[in-house]
Amino acid sequence: MQKDSYKIALAVAETKLEEMLVWILKAWGYIVVIVEREEEVVEYIKRESPALIIIDSSFQGKRGLEICKNIKHDFLTAYTPTIILIDKRQLRRDLLIIEEGVDDYLIKPPDPIDLEVRIILALRSAAHHFDANALTGLPGNRLINKELNNRLRAKKEFSFLYIDIDNFKSYNDKYGYLKGDEVITETAKIISKKVKEEQNKNEQAFLGHIGGDDFAVISSCDDSELIAKGIIRDFDSRSSGFYSQADKKNGFIISSDRTGKTRRIPLMSLSIAIVNNSKEAMLNLLMISDISSEIKKHLKELPGSNFMVNRRVLDHGIDNRQGLKSRF
């Protein structure tokens, strides 16, 4: 962790405690900023976006806990990690307030080792939250790309699965965003379950949420088709439950396309583009993105749910709607 890139704000009442914290934090490589007045704390976080803030419960006449609550109740500052420094006796009395307003606490004066561990954990958790998809909690684009780069640098063989829900926009337009969110979260559960069931015991798979109705899985090459088939099978068996009885019976919904024309839109299905890597034919992020997008574009022209595999050598063959294999 590059500590010199993290700014930590201090709101401390006691001069000796403040001096000790400044000395320790700077020795660890953090940038330290002192916030001296209560009214400055929330505004400072909004303006400067520190990575973390440490507040003394005795700050500004023992209003430290109240300031923490104000931080968490403002959506612009709510996700800034907050550590409260508190007296042991005050801890018991104000436990419920602490649970509502802070992310972590330490008894004053904090043990340096405990403080360092709590800061590292808080920063790590905040980084994951920032990079995770808000709806599903799955890793977002930044973490997906990081995982791909790590495997490419390690020269590991892997498969990248780009999963897209076909006709989701039309469903979302007709049924509303709340029902659309249900589809997204249920799809995330289906993918997660199948990845856990099919992944190679010797190769940890990775699942991420690219955004909207797009997901990504990074798995071993041997597991990729089993994962794709399982995801499609479970999605197809559950997707009709998202529709009204009339739409389910018809097998389509009436909706407007991108040009504004009224059309019969098929029920939702999945397109899964699989890009296999190999030691002999190493890829990079741009190539993986281009190939998966090209495969996905082709799959969207096909009816129902399908997957397609990109390999250097691959026999032609069609596995009905459970999987379409081709050269690419």
pLDDT tens string 87-123 = 877 666 665 555 556 778 888 888 999 999 999 988 8
| Segment holding 265, helix H or strand E | strand 262-266
pTM: 0.66
Q: Can you give the length of the chain in residues?
A: 328
Would you place residue 320 in the very low, low, confident or very high pLDDT band (cuts 50, 70, 90)? very low
Strand-pair partners of 104: 83
User: Quick one: fold of 3-131?
Assistant: Rossmann fold (3.40.50)
Domain boundaries, the chain: 3-131, 141-325
Superfamily assignment of 141-325 in CATH?
A: Reverse transcriptase/Diguanylate cyclase domain (3.30.70.270)
CA distance 166 to 270: 6
Question: Could you tell me which residues come within 8 angstroms of residue 271 by beta carbon, excluding any fewer than 6 positions away?
Answer: 163, 164, 166, 296, 299, 300, 302, 305, 306, 307
202: helix, strand or coil: coil
The answer to whether residue 271 scores a pLDDT higher than 60 is yes
Question: Could you tell me which residues come within 8 angstroms of residue 111 by beta carbon, excluding any fewer than 6 positions away?
Answer: none
pLDDT tens string 22-44 = 999 999 999 998 887 766 787 88
Q: What is the DSSP string of 49-99?
A: --SEEEEETTHHHH-HHHHHHHHHHSTTTTTS-EEEEE-HHHHHHTHHHHH
